[in-house]
Structure 1
Amino acid sequence: MKALVLAGGRGTRLRPLTNTSAKQLFPVANKPVLFYGLEAIRDAGITEVGIIVGDTGAEVRRVVGDGAEFGLRITYIQQEAPLGLAHCVLIARDFLGDDDFVMYLGDNFLIGGIQELVAAFEQGHYDAQILLTPVDDPRSYGVAQLGRSGEIVGLEEKPEVPESDLAIVGVYMFTPAVHDAVRAISPSARGELEITDAVQWLIDSGHHVHSHLITGYWKDTGRVEDMLECNRIVLESIETQVHGTVDDRTQITGRVVIEAGAVVEASVLRGPIVVGADTKIVGSYLGPFTSIGGGCTVEDAEIEYSIVMNASTVRGVSRIEASLIGKGVEVTPAPSTPRTHQLVIGDHSTVRLRS
């Protein structure tokens, strides 16, 4: 069995951060989202992985490498434009050959792994198996309708009136039968080859398509609030590890990870928190569910329930919370007189200021 990991999306909901970085490499507890998926694939016993990349392919290649760090053998497959999930299967035909495979969306975050899914697929002898989970508002997802024995009898993409509350999670199992499906379908109204259309083709052609309900936590990390929630979930499970330097004027409460080379002075840290390597925290407060990347400086500042990426500086500002701060960012106070806000903001940004 092989794996096909999709890491070519543009991440429009996370602009402007995704104007310069791959959304699949955004950190959750200081580890890229994509890494969690690759580890899940490895833990399921799969070692041959194809990664679909797009405009940010060079960054993904640089960070992930050949896969040896994960115990994987990785082949990169370039997608010239985001033409749909089924198009990814189409262009990966040579890599996939006649093997069964799992297709894993690289920006999905799934706790609990995919071992049960892979085992159920192999034991069930299905032509395809789709991972599903109940959601409060199915209108934002692909939605599945099930038969009495758990077989999928129909799919709808973001329906106005959903037939069920079962959303399609970004993990799919396929036999080579799907290659006929992706060649048979036509682009949707948005110009993409939809994987839901390919699965529906399998159903209509008499193939056995089964469901698998997840029992763990799942989130599509396409929005800032989703990233922060995933960060919270992972930080809930960390154990205290202090490899950096903490002075005796610092108060630490709860579970805190301080990576090698980090320095914490005269600060208050209330975990769970992760502080990255070679970061300096001085005279500051870090509240629960905060991740500070490597090479950062936080001085005379307060940060809670936030993600700060590598090489950023936050100095002299109070109470930053529920925020996602990119790489190499500088956050400092504006001049006190006149009482104004001084901003340099990229396209498609969101800024919330106190009046």
Structure 2
Amino acid sequence: MKALVLSGGAGTRLRPITHTSAKQLVPVANKPVLFYGLEAIRDAGITDVGIIVGDTRAEIEAAVGDGSALGIKATYIHQEAPLGLAHCVLIARDFLGDDDFVMYLGDNFIIGGITDLVQEFVRCGADAQILLTKVDNPQQFGIAELDEEGRVVRLVEKPAQPRSDLALVGVYMFKPAIHQAVRAIRPSARGELEITDAIQWLVDNGYNVRSHFVNGYWKDTGRLEDMLECNRKVLETIEPACRGRVDAESRIIGRVVIEDGAVIERSTVRGPAIIGKGTKIIESYVGPFTSIYHDCVIERTEIEHSIILEATKIIGVSRIEDSLIGKEVEVAPSTALPRAHRLMLGDHSKVSIAY
């Protein structure tokens, strides 16, 4: 069995972070979202992994490499433009051959992995297996309709008037029949080959499409709120560890991970939280559900319920919370007169200023 991991999306809902970074590499608890999916695939016994890449190809390849560090063999497949999930299957035909495969969206997050789901697919002998979960906003997802006996009868991508609240989770399992399906369908109104249309083709042509309800935690990490929620979920499970240096004037409370080379001076860190390699926390308070990545400086600042990316400096800020701050950012008080907020922000930025 093989895996096809989709990592070519533009991540428009996480801009401006994703103007310069792949959305799949934004860290949750100091590990890129993509890595959680690749590890889940590996743990399910699948090591031959094709990765669909787009404009952020160089960044994805630099992070994953040949896959050996993650226990997989990575093959990269370039998608010239975001032409749909079914198009990804189409261009991966040579890699997939006639093997069964798991298709995994690289920005999706499932706690508990997919091992049981893969084993169930192998046992049941279906031509396709889709995962479903109830959502409050079905207009934003592919939606499945089931009959009275629980069989899949209709799938619609992002319907304006949903007839179901059952969203497709971003993990699919297919036998080779899907290749005929993706060749048979035509682009949707938004110009994409929709995987929902391909699965509908399987249903209409008498193939066995099985559904499975996801009872555990699943999240599409496309928005700030989703990233922060996933970060909370993972941090709640961490085991305390201190591989850095904490001075005698500092307090470490609860589940806190302090990674190699990190320094905590005259500060309080209240977990669950994780402090990345080479990061310095000086005269500051780091509150629960905060992940600070590598080589950052947090000085004379309070921060809570936030994700901070690498090499960022935050100095002399009274309070930050519910935030996602990108790489190599500098946040500091202005000393110039007249006293004013001075901002340089990219497109699609969001700023909330407390007076």
The interval holding the TM-score normalised by the smaller chain is over 0.9
The equivalent residue for 1:237 is 237
Counterpart code for 2:234: V
User: In 1, Cα distance between the equivalents of 2:191 and 2:248?
Assistant: 60
The equivalent residue for 1:249 is 249
Shift of residue 337, structure 1, vs aligned partner: 4.1
User: In 1, Cα distance between the equivalents of 2:206 and 2:67?
Assistant: 37
User: In 2, Cα distance between the equivalents of 1:150 and 1:97?
Assistant: 31
User: In 2, Cα distance between the equivalents of 1:20 and 1:223?
Assistant: 16
Q: Is the 8 A contact 1:151 1:208 kept in 2?
A: no
User: In 1, Cα distance between the equivalents of 2:354 and 2:253?
Assistant: 29
Q: Any stretches of 5+ residues in structure 2 without a counterpart?
A: none
The equivalent residue for 2:176 is 176
The equivalent residue for 2:318 is 318
Counterpart code for 1:296: C
Shift of residue 128, structure 1, vs aligned partner: 0.4
User: In 2, Cα distance between the equivalents of 1:114 and 1:212?
Assistant: 12
Shift of residue 286, structure 1, vs aligned partner: 0.3
The equivalent residue for 1:206 is 206
The equivalent residue for 1:284 is 284
Q: Is the 8 A contact 1:146 1:152 kept in 2?
A: yes
Determine whether 1:221 maps to 2:236: no
Give the superposed CA RMSD.
Answer: 1.0
Determine whether 1:262 maps to 2:244: no
Any idea what the Cα deviations from partners look like across 1:103-125, whole Å, max 9, x if unmatched?
00000011011112111111111
The equivalent residue for 1:138 is 138
User: In 2, Cα distance between the equivalents of 1:332 and 1:190?
Assistant: 43
Q: Any residues of structure 2 matched to 1:1-355 within 5 Å, and which? A: 1-335=1-335, 337-355=337-355
User: In 1, Cα distance between the equivalents of 2:88 and 2:229?
Assistant: 28
Q: Is the 8 A contact 1:128 1:173 kept in 2?
A: yes
User: In 2, Cα distance between the equivalents of 1:195 and 1:179?
Assistant: 11
Aligned residues: 355
Shift of residue 251, structure 1, vs aligned partner: 1.2
Q: Is the 8 A contact 1:306 1:324 kept in 2?
A: yes
User: In 2, Cα distance between the equivalents of 1:125 and 1:149?
Assistant: 19
Counterpart code for 1:321: E
TM-score, structure 2 normalization: 0.98
Any idea what the Cα deviations from partners look like across 1:31-55, whole Å, max 9, x if unmatched?
0000000000001110100000000
Q: Any stretches of 5+ residues in structure 1 without a counterpart?
A: none
Counterpart code for 1:174: F
Q: Is the 8 A contact 1:303 1:321 kept in 2?
A: yes
User: In 2, Cα distance between the equivalents of 1:161 and 1:189?
Assistant: 16
Any idea what the Cα deviations from partners look like across 1:300-349, whole Å, max 9, x if unmatched?
00100000001110000011000000011111112374331100111111
SS of alignment partner, residue 102 of structure 1: strand
Counterpart code for 2:75: T
Shift of residue 352, structure 1, vs aligned partner: 1.3
Question: Percent identity at matched positions?
Answer: 67
Counterpart code for 1:184: A
Shift of residue 139, structure 1, vs aligned partner: 2.1
The farther-off stretch of 270-279 and 128-137 is 128-137
Q: Is the 8 A contact 1:150 1:210 kept in 2?
A: no
The farther-off stretch of 329-338 and 66-75 is 329-338
